[in-house]
């Protein structure tokens, strides 16, 4: 049974939650491999809307097991809130949710350091979600992090907490002139969290190994997107984890040779929250219209998302660094009322034409997009059941985009609902999961 990575191809919020929810009934397991509660993955089921932050988007399907892998950083208070809210809405977690004992914890000093560091950066601030994700990964790399297994070992937890609080307090006081913490105010709530989470904490790498050996199929749910990857993204305006397909192996303990394919999720245009370059950024009325039609406000922070035209340079790059076999294109309906639609096919920089994504900060902040302009379709797409039902000009847009990015589309999403999804014929997706056809066609 195939094990497939689902990864964002842009700057996050591409609709990964919806795509994973649509595929979840066709796999046995969904696993998150990186990021933390900076993610906000929306799943809409009829009139119900769920925004998942740390829990995989397969959780709404009772037969689907959900794993929070070792590469994820977990804020236990926020995770418990998310779990309680799902349970209140009738979702069964016991027997369905598994948390890696090696996952690192987000501690109360991490969001404090996140905010303090952002304030210090001033105009060069990243525009983080403020959840403490970056500082938690700093501690992991510095080897002073506290892991889920440590939380369940009271003596070790207290020892690590004491060391960290002393160290972080100096940093907060002397470098950032910010409020400090005391051990007891963290220890007691965290020990309560330990009691709550203990039944879910396990060796998820071993569990995944056994499941895969017994023939289970696993979906790896990426958070954020390729352009926010710590190595391959628009550094330093990125998140602090390996968001790209490679992260799926290290972030779960599943060996690369047991991962059989990669599916990218791309919006029909581009959005970004926070600072940093966005070469195809729209301004004025066009941006406002797309933001309003696409409801482009952050699922985690509520911030308005910056909007831009589709960028084939970015998407081609995402195909390359993730080895994408196929792409699910989302939010096509948001362009339904645009008289013209643009695709960026290259960048111009100091007289040169760049067709490969440049990594240098200075180059990226100075590039001019080169656009191809197509006429819009000016007709609704959300009732289309297959590609042939789409307006001819929408099909032309999709064909041109597909040609430019060099990977076939497997799915066209025309609305947030599960059934607002068109399956593309002859895509790798139907070879991986043939049963998707009967559930969507």
Q: What are the residues binding ligand IMO (CB under 6 A)?
A: 8, 11-13, 38-41, 126-129, 131, 133-134, 223-225, 228, 239-240, 273-274, 299
Cα 296 from chain centroid? 15
Give me the least distance between CB of 290 and ligand GDP, in Å please.
Answer: 11
Closer to ligand IMO at the Cβ: 38 or 96? 38
> Which one of ligand IMO, ligand GDP, Mg ion, none interacts with residue 18, CB within 5 to 8 A by kind?
ligand GDP
415 binds ligand GDP (CB under 6 A): yes
Could you give the CA distance from residue 35 to residue 134 in angstroms, rounded to a whole number?
Answer: 9
Can you list the alpha helix ranges (DSSP code H) found in 198-242? 204-213
42 binds ligand GDP (CB under 6 A): yes
1 binds ligand GDP (CB under 6 A): no
Structure tokens that stand for 299 in this block:
């699922």
Cis previous bond, 392, omega within 30: no
Closer to ligand GDP at the Cβ: 100 or 330? 330
Structure tokens that stand for 71 in this block:
């590469």
110 is catalytic: no
Give me the least distance between CB of 103 and ligand GDP, in Å please.
Answer: 20
- Long-range (24+ apart) CB contacts under 8 A made by 410-413 are 410/263, 410/326, 410/327, 410/328, 411/19, 411/22, 411/328, 411/329, 412/328, 412/329, 412/332, 412/384, 412/387, 413/15, 413/18, 413/19, 413/328, 413/329, 413/330, 413/331, 413/332
Q: Which stretch binds Mg ion (CB under 5 A): 253-261, 294-302, 378-386, 425-433?
A: 294-302
Let me know: does 148 contact 254? Beta carbons within 8 Å.
no
Helices 109-121 and 133-142: crossing angle, nearest 10°?
Answer: 110
411 binds ligand GDP (CB under 6 A): no
Closer to ligand GDP at the Cβ: 112 or 384? 384
Judged by CB under 5 A, the chain residues 66 through 125 that form the site for Mg ion are none
What is the DSSP secondary structure assignment for residue 353, as one 8-state letter? E
Closer to ligand GDP at the Cβ: 42 or 252? 42
Let me know: does 15 contact 268? Beta carbons within 8 Å.
no
Give me the least distance between CB of 39 and Mg ion, in Å please.
Answer: 6
44 binds ligand GDP (CB under 6 A): yes
Per CB under 5 A, the list member of 15, 40, 71, 222 interacting with Mg ion is 40
Q: Which stretch binds Mg ion (CB under 5 A): 12-20, 48-56, 95-103, 133-141?
A: 12-20
Closer to ligand IMO at the Cβ: 39 or 262? 39
Task: Exactly one of 21, 26, 41, 333 is catalytic; name it.
Answer: 41
SS3 assignment, position 229: coil
Per CB under 5 A, the list member of 3, 5, 13, 411 interacting with Mg ion is 13
Using H for helix, E for strand and C for coil, what is the string for 147-164?
EHHHHCCHHHHHHHHHHH
16 binds ligand GDP (CB under 6 A): yes
Could you give the CA distance from residue 303 to residue 296 in angstroms, rounded to a whole number?
Answer: 9
Quote helix, strand, coil % in the chain, to nearest 5. 40, 20, 40
Give me the least distance between CB of 264 and ligand IMO, in Å please.
Answer: 13
15 binds ligand GDP (CB under 6 A): yes
**What residue is closest to ligand GDP based on CB?**
42
Structure tokens that stand for 101 in this block:
């004992």
Can you list the alpha helix ranges (DSSP code H) found in 221-330? 247-250, 284-293, 312-322
330 binds ligand GDP (CB under 6 A): yes
Q: Which stretch binds Mg ion (CB under 5 A): 33-41, 278-286, 323-331, 411-419?
A: 33-41
Q: Which stretch binds ligand GDP (CB under 6 A): 69-77, 349-357, 409-417, 433-441?
A: 409-417
> Which one of ligand IMO, ligand GDP, Mg ion, none interacts with residue 140, CB within 5 to 8 A by kind?
none
184 is catalytic: no
> Which one of Mg ion, ligand GDP, ligand IMO, none interacts with residue 330, CB within 5 to 8 A by kind?
ligand GDP
Cα 400 from chain centroid? 26
Let me know: does 250 contact 257? Beta carbons within 8 Å.
no
Closer to ligand IMO at the Cβ: 101 or 267? 267
Cα torsion 33, 65, 440, 295 to 10°: value is -50
Structure tokens that stand for 181 in this block:
């913490």
As annotated, the active-site residues are 13, 41
Residues of the shown chain interacting with ligand GDP in the complex, contacts defined by CB under 6 A: 8, 12-18, 40-42, 44, 295, 299, 330-331, 333-334, 413-416
């Amino acid at each position: 049974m195939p094990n497939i990575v689902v990864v964002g191809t842009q700057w996050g919020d591409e609709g990964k939650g919806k795509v994973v929810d649509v595929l979840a009934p066709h796999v046995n397991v969904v696993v998150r491999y990186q990021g933390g509660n900076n993610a906000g993955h929306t799943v809409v089921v009829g009139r119900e809307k769920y925004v998942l932050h740390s829990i995989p988007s397969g959780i709404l399907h009772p037969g689907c097991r959900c794993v929070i892998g070792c590469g994820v950083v977990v804020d236990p208070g926020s995770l418990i809130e998310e779990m309680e809210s799902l349970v209140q809405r009738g979702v069964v977690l016991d027997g369905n949710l598994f948390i890696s004992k090696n996952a690192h914890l987000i501690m109360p000093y991490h969001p404090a350091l996140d905010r303090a560091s952002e304030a210090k950066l001033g105009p060069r601030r990243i525009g983080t979600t403020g959840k403490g994700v970056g500082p938690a990964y700093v501690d992991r790399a510095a080897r002073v992090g506290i892991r889920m297994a440590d939380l369940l070992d009271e003596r070790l937890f207290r020892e690590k907490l004491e060391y960290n609080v002393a160290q972080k307090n100096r940093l907060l006081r002397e470098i950032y002139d910010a409020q400090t913490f005391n051990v007891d105010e963290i220890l007691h709530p965290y020990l309560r969290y330990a009691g709550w989470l203990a039944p879910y904490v396990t060796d998820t790498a071993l569990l995944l190994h056994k499941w895969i050996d017994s023939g289970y199929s696993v979906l790896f749910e990426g958070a954020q997107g390729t352009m926010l990857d710590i190595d391959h993204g628009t550094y330093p305006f990125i998140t602090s984890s390996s968001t790209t397909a490679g992260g799926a192996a290290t972030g779960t303990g599943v060996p690369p040779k047991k991962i059989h394919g990669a599916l990218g999720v791309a919006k029909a245009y581009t959005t970004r929250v926070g600072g940093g370059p966005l070469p195809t950024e729209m301004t004025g009325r066009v941006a406002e219209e797309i933001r309003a039609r696409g409801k482009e406000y952050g699922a985690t922070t509520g911030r308005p998302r910056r909007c831009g035209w589709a960028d084939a340079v970015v998407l081609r790059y995402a195909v390359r660094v993730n080895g994408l076999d196929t792409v699910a294109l989302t939010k096509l309906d948001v362009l339904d009322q645009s008289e013209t639609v643009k695709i960026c096919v290259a960048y111009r920089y100091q007289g040169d034409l760049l067709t490969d994504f440049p990594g240098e900060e200075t180059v990226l902040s100075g590039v001019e997009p080169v656009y191809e302009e197509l006429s819009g379709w000016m007709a609704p797409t959300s009732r289309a059941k297959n590609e042939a039902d789409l307006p001819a000009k929408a099909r032309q847009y999709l064909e041109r985009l597909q040609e430019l990015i060099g990977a076939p589309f497997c799915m066209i999403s025309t609305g947030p609902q599960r059934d607002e999804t068109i399956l593309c014929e002859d895509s790798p997706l139907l070879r991986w999961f043939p049963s998707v056809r009967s559930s969507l066609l």
